[in-house]
Each structure stands twice: as C-alpha cells, then as structure tokens.
Structure 1
Amino acid sequence: MADDQTPEATEAETAAASEAKGARRKKLLIILAIVVAAVAVIYLLLNWLVFSRHVSTDNAYVAAESAQITPLVGGQVIEVAVSDTSVVKRGQLLLRIDDADAKIAVAQAQADLAAAERRYGQTAATGDALAAQVKARDADIGRMQAQLKVATADLDSAQVNYDRRRALVGEGAVSGDELTSATRALETARANVVLARAAIAQSEAARASAVQERAANTALTRGTTQSTAPEVLTARARLDQARLDLSRTTIRAPMDGVVARRQVQVGQRLAAGTVAMTVVPVDRLYVDANYKEGQLGKVRIGQRAEITSDLYGGDVVYHGTVVGLAGGTGAAFSLIPAQNATGNWIKVVQRLPVRIQLDPKELRDHPLRVGLSMDVEIDVASDR
C-alpha cells in the first residue's frame, strides 16, 4: 500500500515531521534559555546574599605575642630546666645562673647599710656631745665673768691703797717699801683684770666654735631619723638592688606556653640581655590574614570570621573576631621598600594584614602553632 501513496501525501508527511522537529527544537531552546536565566538569577542572588557578604583569603598565618627570655644579670648557667617543645606554666623554673657573686654583693650591701646606720647614730650622739660643750662654754664664760668682777674689785682696792700711800709719801708717813708694795699690788690687780677679760674672750670664742660645730652636725640630721637619713636610704637602695639581682639569677616563665628556640646550655656564660629562649603562649594565638587591597572596603573591626587550618582541614572551623587592621602594607615596612617612582614601575596588588583573634576554648580543644597556614573568611555584613 505504501507504493500506492501519492507524491503529495509523502510531501505532507515530510512537512509535518519537519514542523514537529522545529517545534521540539524551539521548545528545547526555550527550556535552555529558562535554565540559563535561572542560573544567572541564582548566581546573582548568591552573589548578593552570600558572596558579597564574605571576603576570603588563604594568605593567612598563625602568630602570637611570644615572650623572649632575656636574663637581666650576667653569669654562668648552672641549670636549664626545660628544652624545646616543653610545656611550661607561669612561674615555672626555666634556668638558673650562678648566684655566688650576687650573694657576696648582698652581704656587702648589708654591711654598708649597717655602717651607714651606725654613722648616723654616731652623728646624732656627737650632736648631743656638742650641745653639752656649748653649755660648758656658757658655764666657763659665767665663771670668767665672775673672776673679772673679782679682779676689777681687787684693782679698785689696789688703786685706793696706792693713791693713799702715794699721798702720804711727802709727809714721811709711808715708807718707800710700802709704796713699792702698793705699786706692785696695783699692777698685779691690773694684770688680773686683763687676764680675766682675755679668759672671757677665749671662752666666748670656744663657745662660738662649739655652736658652729653643733650647727654643722645638726644640719646632717635635721628633719631625718635613722631610717630616713640620705646615707641610710642610699645604702638600703643598694641592698635592695643587690637582692633584686640575686633574685634575677633564677629565671621563671612569664606566662603559660611552649618553649621554642632554646639557645642556652649548662656552663655557658650569659651576658645581660642575651636571648636564652622563647615562650610561645599557644592559648593566646591570633591569625594575621593578608587581604588584597580591593577586598578591604567593607572589612571593619568587630566583624566575625571563620578560619580553617591545613593542620586539621575543613573538619575543624575556628571562629574569630577582627580586632585590627595593620597601619601599612607589608611592602611599606619591608627592609628595602619598593621605589615606585622609577620609570619601570609595574602595579602590584598590595596586601594588608588583618588581625583576627581566635576563641581560646577552640584553641584548647584544637591547639595550633605559630606559623601554620590558615584559610580565613570574614563576614563583612556582621558587626559585633
């Protein structure tokens, strides 16, 4: 019967088949366009709702404010109690320095303090003795003044006797010997007055000297006690310094952490300020994430971040907070900064360190170490 079909019928069937195929192709194109449009819409929604909320980088590393252990006094190391990787607690012994010299210095300072206290006591006692000398000089002056009065009275009496005998010499009532005796007595009385006055002057000079010595001595102790005298305070300060130096021969951990880069051995002589080791506080680590400058437009302090490490992989997610942005790029603070003013300048995208504080509890559960690589994603829409 197929042979009985006319050419017109065959052409009609071909046209119908072609039309059906075209309709199917058009339908597929419409479906494809709808799928592409849906994908575009989904991408735009994701970019708006998700991707635009987060900035990420894998240029991030664990860091910490490590403590360098530097002895404040020099000497020979007699004990090292820790080694690299040792876990230490705050106050735990790290190393000891020979303290023989420091103990001698303490003994010498103690002796100097005792001597200063004795000198102060001697100075105070000397002041009392000088005060007694002033009183004695006052008594001497009083005695000499009394002797001057006696000498003056004797002089007056001798003068009267001399005048009487001299008046009677012409009448012959007085012999020459009596006049001579009266004259000698008058001269003696005059000499005694001169001696008495000289003694008074000497006593007054001695009193003035004693007063000055007392004033000089009092100036050394005025307004002070044995515990507040300058010499005593100086000696006590030296003793405190010697004791402090003695205590510094025992070096202890300033914080909890792990010992790293131990550079000291028993028997080695350390100079003050030499780095002996480093203590890393592994429970107070942070992450420095180096973001490209184009990613930092929305980054703010207080935003939340999620961090993963190559050590644990994606199974462990740390949660942190942005606590600061560096004051300059790494290139700006490099040893030899780039000279972009030269003619062969090529623009290089710069990175700025962003500091992220980690959760201490998560650090205790999954410890990290300084220098490990991290992947950081900051939620720029969050703000604590």
Structure 2
Amino acid sequence: MTDENNDDDVGTAEEDAQDTPAKAPMDPVRKWTLIVLGACVVLMFWYLRSDRVTPYTNQARVHALVVPIAAQVSGIVTDVAVTNNEYVSADQELLQIDRDQYELAVDTAQANLQTARQATGVSTANVDAARASVDASRASMVRSEQDAVRLRRIKEEDPGAISDRRVEQAVSALIVAQSRLIASQANLEKAIQDLGEAGEKNSRILQAQAALGQAELDLSRTTVRAPDDGLLTDVRVDRGNFAAAGTPLMTFIAIHNIWVQADFTENNLGHIDSGDRVEIVFDSLPGRVISGRVRSTGFGVAVSSAPLGKLPTIENDRQWLRDAQRFPVQVEFQLGERSERLGIRVGSQASVIVYTGDNWLFNFVGKIYIRIASLLTYAF
C-alpha cells in the first residue's frame, strides 16, 4: 500500500508541474528601454542638481587692469626706452620728450619769482615811506594845532597883541596839516594794500612760486614712466614722433590684479556667494587646476533700450526655449611665480567650476570633471 501511495503522489506532482506554465523571460527591448529611461532620469536629476550646487562654465576669460599710457605734456619724442610686449617695473622710464622748452619755462619761472621778490621789497619800502609820511604829517598837524590854540588864547587875552589875519593864517595852516595827514594816511593804506601779505606769503611771490612749481612739474613729466609692475603692449611711438598730451602712445597691463570673468546662466547663480571656492583651468596652462575664490557677482548686463522720443523695437522669438541670459562672476586667484602670471594673457579662455557648499558627492565628481577638462586642454 505504501508503494502505491507514493506512486500516486509522484504522478500528481508531475501533472501539477505540467499544468503550471513556465515564467517567460523579459523582452530584451523592454529591459534595455527601462534601463535607458532610468539612466536618463538619474542623469537629468544629477544635471539639475549639480548645475545648482557645482555650477560649471567654459565661457570665461582672463581680465586685468588695462591702462593707456599717454604723455601729460606735448612735444617731440627724443627716446623710447622700451619695446613691445616688454615687462616693466614701477617707475621705469618708458620714453622721453624733448626737454628744451620746458627747461626754458623753468628758467623763466625762476626769473619771475626773483622779480616778484624784488617787487615785494619795493612795496615794503613804499609802505615804510608812507608810514613815515603819516608820522611827519601828524607831527605837522600837532604843531599847527598848537600854534592855532596859542594865537587864539593871546587874541582873547589881548585883542591888540596880534592881528586877526595872523589868527586866520594859523587856522588855515591847521586845516592844511589835517588834510595832509588824511592824504598821507590814504597813501599808507594804498601802499599796504598794494603790498599785501608781507614776506614769502605775499601773493606775488606765491603766484610766482606756483608758476615755478608748474614749470618744474611739466619738466618732470617729459619723462614718461611706468605706473606699476606690468607689461607694455601696442607700442606705437618712435623717436621723432610728436606726442600730444593725453593721446595714448602705448598700453600698460597691470599683472598685480588679474581676475577671471566667468559668465554663468541665471539659474547657476542661486547658490553662488562671494568667497565660494573655485577651481579654474586655463587654456594657456594645460593640465593644471588653479584654485581661487569668487570675488563678486554681477548685478546687471547691458540691454538695448530705445532713446527718448523713439518707440521700442520688439524682436519676435518663435523658439520654444529661449537662450539663457548669462551674468558675469568675477573670480580671483593667486599665482606665485611671475613667469606664471605672465603666461596668463588678458583675454585668454578658461573653464571654471564653483563649489557652493559641502556637497561632498557633487564636489568629488566636480573635481574629477574639472581635472579631465584640464587634460583635454592639451588637445583642444
């Protein structure tokens, strides 16, 4: 009985296995479609997130302070001491302008200063003379006044002692003396006003000293010097050229303040703050990654606007997606060697990535990406 029961169970199991259909394998097309869609979703999420926390741009250029070098006085160029694209130090001589006319101007100003001092001395003497004249006129008036008083008293005490004419002459002499005193006082005031301040503070002397200072300044400006350490480019002057004051003769590029202007789209700016860590790849330094910091973020860019009295022009954009507006972000960096700073030229291109926070995964991937980009600069 036991064997028969076992045979029945085996038969039943085989029948059940035959009745249950085998699980069909997944269609390969569907499988890979799901994998690709999943990868696209992951990549889209990664792109959207990384574009916010580790924004990257290859639209960046090197900028520096560019100063046009112009003479401050006009004249014929007698010597050019530099060549194009030469490194210069602060206060180094660049070119020389003919000094003859400016040396003559200094000599003339010195002579005018001496003349002003002599004129001041004459005016001082005139004041002293006018003051002495006032003293003499006052003494004469006092004497005339005393004579008039004495004669009046005698006339009152003894009318016959002196004549009325004698008294009238004394009174007239007093009036004349008073008038002379008033005139001498006026002459004294005139002499004082003509003199002005005494000594070296006299206006004539100060004016002559100012003219001499200006002449000496113009003479010193005949030597054009470098404003700071940097590079000279676009040298367009040679010996014999006429240098007009204020007209640029060459261009100076200051290398002590070089920065990168990275243009990021508006949706990249949300997390960028001043001081954020930055890594830069310069096309001129292939294979190297330079560290830096965000200096500032631009607040606006130029847009076309109609002038007053004109109607605005509207440009129709029929695209589904408009081009993203970019804003400048200034990035500062430091290079120790002067040769490295000179190797980064103004206007050269760069790639920039900003680490806006402690997002270790995105930062790690960003570091790998920027280093791959640095290696690609050997070829592109």
Cα displacement string for residues 262-300 of structure 1 (whole angstroms, at most 9, x for unaligned residues): 122211111111001111123421111122223222222
CA displacement at 1:229 relative to structure 2: 2.2
Find 1:296's aligned residue among 233, 258, 269.
269
| SS, match of residue 357 in structure 1 | strand
CA displacement at 1:227 relative to structure 2: 2.1
State whether residues 89 and 253 of structure 1, in contact with CA within 8 Å, keep that contact through their aligned partners in structure 2.
yes
Cα displacement string for residues 12-54 of structure 1 (whole angstroms, at most 9, x for unaligned residues): 9xx99xx99x78x569999989987996898589669866531
Q: What is the rounded CA distance, in whole Å, between the counterparts of 1:74 and 1:327 in structure 2?
A: 41
- Using a 3 Å threshold, how does the CA distance of structure 1 residues 303 and 194 change in structure 2: closer, same or farther? same
Q: What is the rounded CA distance, in whole Å, between the counterparts of 1:359 and 1:105 in structure 2?
A: 47
State whether residues 69 and 251 of structure 2, in contact with CA within 8 Å, keep that contact through their aligned partners in structure 1.
yes
Match of 1:180 in 2: none
CA displacement at 1:304 relative to structure 2: 1.5
Match of 2:189 in 1: 215
Q: Which amino acid aligns with 1:373?
A: Q
Q: What is the rounded CA distance, in whole Å, between the counterparts of 1:45 and 1:160 in structure 2?
A: 136
State whether residues 59 and 350 of structure 2, in contact with CA within 8 Å, keep that contact through their aligned partners in structure 1.
yes
Match of 1:165 in 2: none
Alignment map for 1:1-384 (pairs within 5 Å): 25=25, 52-145=52-145, 147-148=147-148, 160=160, 189-220=163-194, 224-313=197-286, 315-329=287-301, 331-332=302-303, 342=314, 344-346=316-318, 347-361=322-336, 364-365=339-340, 367-381=343-357
Match of 1:181 in 2: none
Match of 1:171 in 2: none
Percent sequence identity over aligned pairs: 28
Deviates further, 55-64 or 355-364 = 355-364
State whether residues 282 and 369 of structure 1, in contact with CA within 8 Å, keep that contact through their aligned partners in structure 2.
no
CA displacement at 1:312 relative to structure 2: 2.4
Q: Which amino acid aligns with 1:328?
A: G
CA displacement at 1:351 relative to structure 2: 1.6
Normalised to the residue count of structure 2, the TM-score between the two structures is 0.74
| SS, match of residue 332 in structure 2 | strand
- Using a 3 Å threshold, how does the CA distance of structure 1 residues 95 and 57 change in structure 2: closer, same or farther? same
Q: What is the rounded CA distance, in whole Å, between the counterparts of 1:29 and 1:349 in structure 2?
A: 37
Q: What is the rounded CA distance, in whole Å, between the counterparts of 1:74 and 1:333 in structure 2?
A: 40
Q: What is the rounded CA distance, in whole Å, between the counterparts of 1:206 and 1:120 in structure 2?
A: 26
Q: Which ranges of structure 2 fall in alignment gaps of 5 or more residues?
A: 1-13, 360-380
Normalised to the residue count of structure 1, the TM-score between the two structures is 0.74
Q: What is the rounded CA distance, in whole Å, between the counterparts of 2:304 and 2:255 in structure 1?
A: 27
Q: Which ranges of structure 1 fall in alignment gaps of 5 or more residues?
A: 1-11, 162-185
Q: Which amino acid aligns with 1:62?
A: V
Q: What is the rounded CA distance, in whole Å, between the counterparts of 2:26 and 2:139 in structure 1?
A: 141
Deviates further, 252-261 or 48-57 = 48-57
Deviates further, 291-300 or 146-155 = 146-155
CA displacement at 1:160 relative to structure 2: 3.6
Q: What is the rounded CA distance, in whole Å, between the counterparts of 2:337 and 2:157 in structure 1?
A: 117
State whether residues 283 and 360 of structure 1, in contact with CA within 8 Å, keep that contact through their aligned partners in structure 2.
no
Deviates further, 195-204 or 262-271 = 195-204
Q: What is the rounded CA distance, in whole Å, between the counterparts of 1:139 and 1:113 in structure 2?
A: 39
CA displacement at 1:78 relative to structure 2: 0.9
- Using a 3 Å threshold, how does the CA distance of structure 1 residues 130 and 38 change in structure 2: closer, same or farther? same
Q: Which amino acid aligns with 1:301?
A: S
State whether residues 304 and 382 of structure 1, in contact with CA within 8 Å, keep that contact through their aligned partners in structure 2.
no
CA-atom RMSD in angstroms: 3.8
Q: What is the rounded CA distance, in whole Å, between the counterparts of 1:279 and 1:295 in structure 2?
A: 34
Number of residue pairs matched? 335
Q: What is the rounded CA distance, in whole Å, between the counterparts of 1:297 and 1:158 in structure 2?
A: 117
Deviates further, 259-268 or 292-301 = 292-301
State whether residues 82 and 94 of structure 2, in contact with CA within 8 Å, keep that contact through their aligned partners in structure 1.
yes
CA displacement at 1:206 relative to structure 2: 0.8
- Using a 3 Å threshold, how does the CA distance of structure 1 residues 126 and 37 change in structure 2: closer, same or farther? same
CA displacement at 1:232 relative to structure 2: 2.2
CA displacement at 1:121 relative to structure 2: 2.5
Q: What is the rounded CA distance, in whole Å, between the counterparts of 1:287 and 1:84 in structure 2?
A: 24
| SS, match of residue 301 in structure 1 | coil
- Using a 3 Å threshold, how does the CA distance of structure 1 residues 333 and 121 change in structure 2: closer, same or farther? farther
State whether residues 284 and 360 of structure 1, in contact with CA within 8 Å, keep that contact through their aligned partners in structure 2.
no
- Using a 3 Å threshold, how does the CA distance of structure 1 residues 124 and 42 change in structure 2: closer, same or farther? same
| SS, match of residue 276 in structure 1 | strand
| SS, match of residue 344 in structure 2 | coil
Larger Rg: 1
